[in-house]
Amino acid sequence: MATPLALARAAAPARGRPVAGPLHAVAGPLDAVTEAVRAASRRAGPDAPLGLADPLVVADPASGGWISAASLVDGAALPVLLNGPVERWGAMPHAAAALAWKAYTYWLAVPAVTGLACVNRVPLLDADNVLVRLSHKSPFVTIGMRRPAVAVLPDDPYAGDPATTVVADRDGLLGALRVSLVDRHLALLAAATQARVRIGSRALAGALAASVGYVLSLTGPLAPDSPTQLGKPILDALNIADLVELTDTPDGSVDVRRRTCCLAFTVPGLTICTGCCIQP
């Protein structure tokens, strides 16, 4: 089964320094993140699905089939997410949960990791600020935000804007990423998932670790440092560094080697993913 970056790796341009203009000369603290995401997604090719609202903040959450991520965390809508792979592929419940998490964590990580890597801004993706749209068609999960909320550095042009939370330094951005993405979202979702399905915490956390690597492969030449230089502190901050191995590649992306498995190989019609810890 192909990773979300299968197309990107085939067509990735040579690595370069970040482009100064387009990623920063955009009005609004979250708009710069949106532009960075657009630039990164173009590396995946014109036909690659995009599981993000564009712009990130959804103008009319009441329409378009959006639900609150809070309804996944509290269990009310969680069966819809977890049963998707069962209905699509006939996956067993534990494999379905792993595959659902693979899609969910990837699209949730895209704006968070891209924003940090490319523009030093971290969208705050607490469960009560995230909207989700689920589908039987790829990309299966689409992520949006209810309101603009971004962690920024003191010298950011938007520091002090009502939509921003100012942190002291890069470590503060990493801390904001950890609190918002994990403590106030994925840790709660993991607990709700494990209350319904027998699946280990390591498998769920491994999906997030791999997602960080996949996203960094897309940001490649847009970011000031290599994917592995950016990835280590992010993985350390999220306490998942032992679940994935990242290696820079000549094209500016990254080779992602998982130390957990999404169990795709157990599902009829699916195969072992590129970079899986289980290899034939």
Average pLDDT, integer, range 75-87: 90
Higher pLDDT, 147 or 85: 147
At residue 278 the predicted structure's pLDDT band, cuts being 50, 70 and 90, is: low
The rounded distance, in Å, linking the Cα atoms of 18 and 3 is 25
pLDDT tens per residue, range 20-52: 333 333 458 999 999 999 988 887 777 778 899
pLDDT over threshold 50, residue 6: no
pLDDT tens per residue, range 207-223: 999 999 989 988 877 88
The rounded distance, in Å, linking the Cα atoms of 144 and 231 is 24
pLDDT tens per residue, range 232-273: 999 999 999 999 888 888 877 788 887 775 555 566 665 656
At 100, phi and psi to the nearest 5? Answer: -65, -40
Query: Residue 234 has which token pair?
Result: 């992010």
- Nearest CA among 235, 219, 120 for reference residue 166: 120
pLDDT at residue number 252: 75
pLDDT at residue number 48: 79
Average pLDDT, integer, range 182-192: 97
Question: Is the bond into 93 cis (omega within 30 degrees of 0)?
Answer: no
pLDDT tens per residue, range 108-137: 999 999 999 999 999 999 999 999 999 988
